[in-house]
Amino acid sequence: MATGFFALLDDIAALMDDVAVMGKIATKKTAGILGDDLAVNAEKASGFISSREIPVLWAITKGSFLNKLIILPIAFLLSAFLPWAVTLILILGGVYLAYEGAEKIYELIVPHHHETVIVEETELTKEEVLALEKTKIRSAIITDFILSIEIVIIALGTVLDKPLLTQIMVVSVVAIIATIGVYGIVALIVRMDDLGVRFIKLSKDKKNISYYIGTFLIKALPMVIRALGIIGTIALLLVAGGIFVHYIDFFHHVSEDLLSSVPSILKEFIFGLVIGFVALFVLNSFKFIWKKIKK
């Protein structure tokens, strides 16, 4: 009896060790998308009056948890009964990530006009502010749903050859860490300017260390969000390129034969960038043709 109990404990310890190791690998694989998720949500959670930033962020966080509660069971069912579908979704998701990265670079090179709405407490009624909040929250949750699919599928892709229980534990842990980590950091980022204001108030109109720290935090906020956007774009292309190289035989052979002397990180970036711009060209061509047909 005692022997069986200790054997069970040994099996549980071995399982948890396996989960920890695979969880670390899966987290590294999803780091690129987490960077983009961080940049996107930091941008979407900013622009509100300070008293509404945290409530808005909390609403998005709850939506993110709900997204993962929907996605995780479907992903595990696919892994159990249609494992090839996981690889297919992974590749299609890679195309989407490459497209998104290429689109951001394209918009940087060829600027587009985007209508921006800044929420000002003095200009909008309470009902209008809440309506605008709901719109932005809904948009953020939809974006999170797409990114959550990629996070779950990429994490699942690293443990497809493992038992189903290990898959469930690893992917669930990654999903929870991703949500708490991303939105926790976003909360800190969007409150940087408010913390800066507090430091400036502490300085009592004197240019001391408190004043300079406060000024730095206020000025740093838009730069941090912009930097996260750049890092996230690069990460998207790297993640997408990595998917193509590891899951599509043609790109794997090209990588090994023609680009053998090129560092792997550069190869992944090149594949992600090229396929991203191909996807962007195809989609923009389709949109152009569709507009012509409608006219």
Q: What is the pLDDT of residue 42?
A: 65
pLDDT higher than threshold 90 for residue 171: no
Look at residue 117 in the predicted model and tell me its pLDDT. 45
pLDDT in tens, 83-134: 888 888 888 888 988 898 899 899 888 765 554 444 444 566 667 667 777 8
Domain boundaries, the chain: 2-294
- As a whole number of angstroms, the distance between CA 242 and CA 235 comes to 10
Position 51 confidence tier, pLDDT thresholds 50, 70, 90: low
Q: Is the pLDDT of residue 148 over 80?
A: yes
pLDDT at 271: 92
31 pLDDT above the threshold of 90: no
Contact yes or no for 263/257 (Cβ under 8 A): no
The 3-state DSSP class for residue 113 equals coil
Q: pTM of this prediction?
A: 0.70
Question: Residue type at 217?
Answer: L
Q: How many Å apart are CA 71 and CA 196, to the nearest integer?
A: 38
